[in-house]
Amino acid sequence: MFYLTIDVLGTAAFAISGVLIAMEKKLDLFGVFIIAFVTAIGGGTLRDILIGNTPVVWMRDHTYIVIVLVNVILAVLLVNQLKYLRKTLFLFDTIGIGLFTMAGIEKGLSADLSPIICVALGTITASFGGVLRDILCNEIPVIFRKEIYATACIFGGFCYFLFRLLPMNAEYAYLGGILVIIAIRLLVVKFKISLPSIYKKES
């Protein structure tokens, strides 16, 4: 139940981030739903295909489609109350990557995969929906820019496995991994920390 709750919350967070960016692009209602849906289930779909968990989860459990639909309706109705659109988008996106990274790691553990592969699966789960969202909205995906995004997922994933070595409840280790990812994203944006560019500035 705990892990299902995390998965549902991650789906909701990413669906809302998809709605917000779609509305920024002034898409119609169908376009808003598609962007929200792709953002929410894109990473999990790729993850399930990679581990052979087919049909993928949203095809077997329509709860995920309902979650996306409900969040699209709510976000559309409440969009006028979301005054700081960019900050709201960043917040939901940040929460989403924290939740989905750990959901992906849990799927990897269920498939008896090694910690490194589990972290890779978690990063794919957290990042790929956003990649599809940005491509469909004609944006350069955030993970391909200087922002620390996928790196936060990787670091938080490894922290989770370190937490598991400590004498603590597994659920606390799980929450610890989520909080590490969210904290890293908040800190790097606040203090404008980014990965070094490989390109030299033109003089």
- pLDDT at 87 (0 to 100): 74
Asked if the model's pLDDT at residue 83 lies above 60, the reply is: no
Q: How far is residue 96's CA from residue 133's CA, in Å, rounded to a whole number? A: 14
- pLDDT at 8 (0 to 100): 85
Q: Kindly tell me the burial class for residue 131, based on how many C-beta atoms sit within 10 Å of its own C-beta (0-12, 13-18, 19 or more).
A: buried
Per-residue pLDDT, averaged over 65-86, amounts to 80
Across the strands, what pairs with 147?
194
Q: Angle 115-136/2-24 helices, nearest 10 degrees?
A: 30
**Residues 39, 133: contact at Cβ < 8 Å?**
yes
State the pLDDT confidence band at 84, using cuts at 50, 70 and 90: low
Q: Note the pLDDT tens digit of each residue in 140-192.
A: 888 887 678 999 999 999 999 999 999 999 899 999 999 999 999 999 988 88
- pLDDT at 75 (0 to 100): 79
pTM given for the model: 0.88
- pLDDT at 126 (0 to 100): 95
For residue 38, is it left (φ>0), alpha (ψ between -120 and 50) or beta?
alpha
Asked if the model's pLDDT at residue 81 lies above 80, the reply is: no
Of the candidates 90, 80, 124, the one whose C-alpha atom is nearest the C-alpha of residue 13 is: 90
Q: How far is residue 199's CA from residue 32's CA, in Å, rounded to a whole number? A: 35
Lowest mean per-residue pLDDT among 20-24, 76-80, 82-86, 137-141: 82-86
Domain ranges of the chain: 2-140
Residues 6+ apart with CB under 8 A from 54: 48
- pLDDT at 103 (0 to 100): 93
DSSP structure class, residue 82 = -
State the pLDDT confidence band at 16, using cuts at 50, 70 and 90: confident
Lowest mean per-residue pLDDT among 63-77, 112-126, 185-199: 185-199
Asked if the model's pLDDT at residue 90 lies above 90, the reply is: no
Q: Angle 115-136/29-50 helices, nearest 10 degrees?
A: 160
Q: Is 194 helix (H, G, I), strand (E, B) or coil?
A: strand
- pLDDT at 186 (0 to 100): 94
Q: Note the pLDDT tens digit of each residue in 17-75.
A: 898 889 889 999 899 999 999 999 999 999 999 999 999 999 999 999 999 999 889 87
Higher pLDDT, 108 or 24: 108
